[in-house]
A and B are shown apart, each in its own frame.
Chain A
């Protein structure tokens, strides 16, 4: 015999029910056939011999009913009715099947059915939207890659590489006329030329002896100052004039009067001067001082 009250008395309050989950404020029922999910006298499927639920399987909703007549046959206890996919029709079906059943169960069944359809709709919508794919990271792999990256960074020597590349570009002239020191490039080109044609060596020697002082003085003032000066502008003007005399001859030549050399010889002798600077490093200065001394008294 089914004594609902007795059953409830035992499992509800006094003794253990394996489906009961207790929290601070409420008790929940983990039984799959429970209609509300709470542990109540009216919601407990074990202590109600006439009971009904809605359950969902792969997107299809079913109405499960249990009556006392089948209480002795556990295998056939729950009657399963497939509900229509149409919401209104399904509600009617529920009503029809639970026609003389207690209000509570009918109401709760319909509520549960509504909730289920709502979440099924949401699931179908979500599938159409963008799905986030979680890619698991393997710790070993990540740490290995990190180490490789650090080593690659050290091997890369980025600053050097960048500087080299920039200097290459400067040499190749990608910057055009912005930077006005193609000095070394020009001189190197010249030196190459001179190496090729050795017949000019004699001329060079002769030139050296004659115009020695002037060349060396001119060059060495410039060269030594080039490395010292921070301010490129001043430098540019002085070096510009010298160079553009020799190479392009575009800008104004303020000091051209002082320098008597023709363009070609300047460059040649400049090259020579630079070559020889390796051996002789004496600075010759023009004597300007005596003038000032006489003034001061």
Chain B
């Protein structure tokens, strides 16, 4: 075997991304002591940076070994080597940092998905006039100008069972002015005008699948947008550990975290308008809608300020997570409604760092 195949090796190397150079080096070292179960002969190349000229022998990758056990062993070794190297690098860095002491460069911030989030052009700037104008004249302006008091009607899909029924009841206890009505096979389009006539501001329909709530349609009533959510991880009061006593009738405060885009703002206002404008601080209850990576976590707590720097919270009511599936202008009309936003999995879920809310 002549080792004159310089261009070939470089090509092969670029193709095989999995086997890193360092691994190859180590592997070839290790294999020197082994018996020749391997097809191709390998020899050292580019051992250190100084020897860069000797680009000759074709390196091989672990995936070319036909024997499964040996391949596996090689791979394990490769991994161990990599890990060792990483550890060494870390130790070195630590030592350097310790040596430099105060002059050490600041620690690098680890990359998180939130850090690396793709910039969304619809992010709301708090001072944007256009947005302020929009929000002043949209469907929620009536609520935010204190013209209406929220009245919520909670219902389910046909023939609710078990957990869904209890979930509805608990929701009704959390949201003030909420009433649960049994859905006797009525069509939503017929319910809506009746609700409007009785001055309800919200219609909440909880969809059930196999005994468990799994969808939520939230319809703001006079003309408002309809949001369809997927509900997951529902925990009723019984299932929450270390919980407090049942919530009282006081209106809770509302916390809305991390809604940054236009869409997020709309949804946040949708949630905010569920609760009465003036919370009862005496009740010390707070309902939180926290958006993280397009999942909206709902929690209901009772808080107490121990001193001005510490607050204790105790979870009360039900908890669940929502994921927005679609937002439709106007009241519920799945066929002919105008959809402002629909979750399209192939487009929107393709990038891990891109979020909509």
Q: Do A and B truly interact? A: yes
The answer to whether B311 touches A181, judged by C-beta atoms less than 8 angstroms apart, is no
Beyond A153-B292, A163-B313, whether A226 also contacts B307 by CB under 8 A is yes
Q: Which of B187, B295, B297, B311 lies in contact with A167, CB distance below 8 A? A: B311
Closest to A169 in B: B253
**Min CB distance, B73 to chain A, in Å?**
31
Which residues in A have their C-beta under 8 angstroms from that of B301?
Answer: 162
Give Cα A182 to B307, complex, Å. 9
Beyond A152-B293, A155-B113, whether A179 also contacts B286 by CB under 8 A is no
Give Cα A149 to B296, complex, Å. 9
Q: Which of A145, A170, A171, A184 lies in contact with B323, CB distance below 8 A? A: A145
Chain A interface residue count, Cβ-Cβ cutoff 8 angstroms? 35
**Min CB distance, B320 to chain A, in Å?**
11
Q: Which secondary structure characterizes the binding site on chain A?
A: helix
Beyond A148-B293, A161-B290, whether A167 also contacts B112 by CB under 8 A is no
Contact pattern, A 135-168, Cβ under 8 Å of B = 1, otherwise 0: 0000001000110110111011011011101110
**Min CB distance, B78 to chain A, in Å?**
27
Q: Which of A130, A151, A162, A182 lies in contact with B299, CB distance below 8 A? A: A162
Closest to A148 in B: B293
Which residues in A have their C-beta under 8 angstroms from that of B232?
Answer: 145-146, 149
Asked if B308 is at the interface of the complex by the 8 Å CB criterion, the answer is yes
The answer to whether B307 touches A227, judged by C-beta atoms less than 8 angstroms apart, is yes
Give Cα A165 to B301, complex, Å. 13
Asked if B336 is at the interface of the complex by the 8 Å CB criterion, the answer is no
Q: Which of B257, B282, B307, B321 lies in contact with A161, CB distance below 8 A? A: B257
Beyond A166-B286, A178-B281, whether A152 also contacts B295 by CB under 8 A is yes
The answer to whether B307 touches A149, judged by C-beta atoms less than 8 angstroms apart, is no
Which residues in B have their C-beta under 8 angstroms from that of A184?
Answer: 308-309
Give Cα A226 to B308, complex, Å. 11
Beyond A161-B290, A165-B257, A175-B281, whether A141 also contacts B345 by CB under 8 A is yes
Asked if A183 is at the interface of the complex by the 8 Å CB criterion, the answer is yes
Which residues in A have their C-beta under 8 angstroms from that of B112?
Answer: 155
Closest to B321 in A: A149
Contact pattern, A 166-210, Cβ under 8 Å of B = 1, otherwise 0: 110111000110110111110000000000000000000000000
Which residues in A have their C-beta under 8 angstroms from that of B294?
Answer: 152
Asked if B182 is at the interface of the complex by the 8 Å CB criterion, the answer is no
Q: Which secondary structure characterizes the binding site on chain B?
A: strand
Contact pattern, A 207-226, Cβ under 8 Å of B = 1, otherwise 0: 00000000000000000001
The answer to whether A130 touches B313, judged by C-beta atoms less than 8 angstroms apart, is no
Give Cα A156 to B299, complex, Å. 12
**Min CB distance, A5 to chain B, in Å?**
53
The answer to whether B187 touches A130, judged by C-beta atoms less than 8 angstroms apart, is yes
Q: Which of B187, B295, B313, B323 lies in contact with A162, CB distance below 8 A? A: B313
Closest to A159 in B: B313
The answer to whether B321 touches A185, judged by C-beta atoms less than 8 angstroms apart, is no
Asked if A129 is at the interface of the complex by the 8 Å CB criterion, the answer is yes
Give Cα A232 to B304, complex, Å. 11
The answer to whether B292 touches A155, judged by C-beta atoms less than 8 angstroms apart, is yes
Give Cα A139 to B303, complex, Å. 39
Contact pattern, B 181-203, Cβ under 8 Å of A = 1, otherwise 0: 00001011000000000000000
Asked if B55 is at the interface of the complex by the 8 Å CB criterion, the answer is no
The answer to whether A162 touches B233, judged by C-beta atoms less than 8 angstroms apart, is no
Asked if B125 is at the interface of the complex by the 8 Å CB criterion, the answer is no
Which residues in A have their C-beta under 8 angstroms from that of B119?
Answer: none
Contact pattern, B 305-326, Cβ under 8 Å of A = 1, otherwise 0: 1111101010000000101000
Beyond A166-B311, A227-B307, whether A149 also contacts B290 by CB under 8 A is no
Asked if B29 is at the interface of the complex by the 8 Å CB criterion, the answer is no
Give Cα A161 to B112, complex, Å. 17
Closest to B301 in A: A162
Give Cα A145 to B294, complex, Å. 11
Give Cα A130 to B253, complex, Å. 38
**Min CB distance, B200 to chain A, in Å?**
20
Asked if B114 is at the interface of the complex by the 8 Å CB criterion, the answer is yes
Contact pattern, A 262-273, Cβ under 8 Å of B = 1, otherwise 0: 000000000000
With contacts A153-B321, A162-B313 known, what are 15 further pairs, Cβ within 8 A? A130-B185, A145-B232, A146-B232, A149-B233, A155-B113, A161-B290, A162-B301, A165-B288, A166-B255, A170-B305, A178-B281, A179-B305, A181-B305, A181-B307, A227-B307
What are 22 contact pairs spanning A and B, CB under 8 A?
A: A146-B232, A149-B232, A149-B295, A152-B293, A152-B297, A156-B292, A158-B288, A161-B257, A162-B303, A163-B311, A165-B255, A165-B288, A166-B305, A166-B311, A167-B309, A167-B311, A175-B281, A178-B281, A179-B305, A181-B308, A184-B308, A227-B307
Closest 8 CB pairs of A and B: A156-B292, A152-B293, A152-B292, A152-B295, A181-B308, A130-B187, A166-B311, A184-B308
Interface positions of A (Cβ within 8 A of B): 129-130, 141, 145-146, 148-149, 151-153, 155-156, 158-159, 161-163, 165-167, 169-171, 175-176, 178-179, 181-185, 226-227, 232
Interface positions of B (Cβ within 8 A of A): 112-114, 185, 187-188, 232-233, 253, 255, 257, 281-282, 286, 288, 290, 292-295, 297, 299, 301, 303, 305-309, 311, 313, 321, 323, 345
